[in-house]
Chains A and B, each alone.
Chain A
């Protein structure tokens, strides 16, 4: 059933300060609207609750990639196309581009934003696993000030986030991965290559010293109520050698204690668990190839 379009009001702020003022006055009654690639789908399906929307799409100060000596900052309105076009992201944080390339197709990539993908809070979103694997922090702004939250702690439950009603997610900060030895492995498993929503999504980044795993972070999508970081699996892998024949078995057992997939319209619990384990082993093979 289609939505009743007159039931939606939209206000367009003049800038970020104005947007934050409006949020402080109206809080949860005012819902941010960015590129529209999720909200407009809900609208057309009749699933978007009527109400007031804050049209932040035009806030240029929230769009773009800035690079400092030790960090890369993505403004919340940075689109997938912007991510794909950025040379530092391609060189040091390549899983963001791989995720962007597999999110919808060109028209979606031109409007979908990194911040929108985070606050839409779908456990099946494609960029969150990569953000987790890169140790991202998100920045939230309100008239009260700004604060940073480790992204791994931002999603608290299905569609529940560490975001107050008056706060706007304004940026994502990522440590640069310029040091030698970083190997990246991103894989989204869906029903087809273009335009699909994932059954399982895996992102792993590890820094190798020879065949020793000096540092590793893993993010998963579609296997838990939230985009999932996997600290137990990371602990199993850290400090171990890729030549260790027992490693794959131990790591697979660990990740299957962390992933809690369910049956739904896109896949089954059993298939997702099997594929999660397989993707982890593929990650280890990729690392062995890069060692």
Chain B
């Protein structure tokens, strides 16, 4: 029998310390200990991407990360995006393009998109599809999701270019 250990890490810029089982899934800790339920559980085996979050800026499936492995790390969840003005065009684009239907996949889609756009500001449709390849939408709204990402990328890249001109 193991023991509960204290694991300290950052969630959306806020320090948290949870006393938990080391092999507990980051997904469960976020939802039940930290109280952030925006991160969803779909398959629980890394196939669907509903639980996608960023750990130190890197996209991961929170269902496959034992919480002991995020000690000292910075975790960003979909709730963290709500506080990030730079991501506003992405949310708006999902609404405008009807990129969300039932909504269960949407937090994961948003996190995977944020990871993609940080790496590549103006991805091709093929690259968008590859980057979202680990995120399943069972309403099968992929065309609208890709459209939303494409529009958001254009707008965010344009905003950055404007900021550079002004700056």
Q: Mark B16-49, 1 if CB is under 8 A from A, else 0.
A: 0000011111000000000000000000111101
Apart from A105-B135, A107-B46, A108-B64, what 13 extra A-B contacts exist at CB < 8 Å?
A5-B23, A8-B2, A8-B21, A9-B22, A10-B66, A37-B64, A40-B63, A44-B45, A58-B69, A104-B134, A107-B52, A107-B59, A108-B61
Q: Mark B62-78, 1 if CB is under 8 A from A, else 0.
A: 01111011010000000
A110, CB-defined interface residue at 8 Å = yes
Q: Which residue of B lies closest to A36 (CB)?
A: B64
* Highest count of chain B CB atoms <10 Å: which of A12, A45, A110, A193: A110
Partner of B69 from A8, A36, A45 at Cβ < 8 Å: A36
A55, CB-defined interface residue at 8 Å = yes
B158, CB-defined interface residue at 8 Å = no
Specify which chain B residues have a CB less than 8 angstroms from the CB of A111 in the assembled complex: 60-61, 64-65
A107 and B134 form a contact (CB under 8 A):
yes
B85, CB-defined interface residue at 8 Å = no
A12 and B68 form a contact (CB under 8 A):
yes
> With A6-B2, A33-B66, A40-B63 known to touch, is A107 a contact of B25 (CB < 8 Å)?
no
Number of interface residues of B (CB under 8 A): 34
A7, CB-defined interface residue at 8 Å = yes
Number of interface residues of A (CB under 8 A): 32
With both chains docked as a complex, state the minimum distance between the C-beta of A109 and any C-beta of chain B, in angstroms: 9
With both chains docked as a complex, state the minimum distance between the C-beta of B130 and any C-beta of chain A, in angstroms: 8
Q: Which residue of A lies closest to B68 (CB)?
A: A10
B134 and A108 form a contact (CB under 8 A):
yes
B134 and A9 form a contact (CB under 8 A):
no
With both chains docked as a complex, state the minimum distance between the C-beta of A240 and any C-beta of chain B, in angstroms: 38
Cα–Cα distance between A6 and B19 once the two chains are bound (Å): 12
B45 and A106 form a contact (CB under 8 A):
no
A44 and B44 form a contact (CB under 8 A):
yes
Q: Which residue of A lies closest to B41 (CB)?
A: A44
With both chains docked as a complex, state the minimum distance between the C-beta of B134 and any C-beta of chain A, in angstroms: 3
B21 and A5 form a contact (CB under 8 A):
yes
A10 and B49 form a contact (CB under 8 A):
no
> With A45-B45, A107-B60 known to touch, is A10 a contact of B131 (CB < 8 Å)?
no
With both chains docked as a complex, state the minimum distance between the C-beta of A49 and any C-beta of chain B, in angstroms: 12
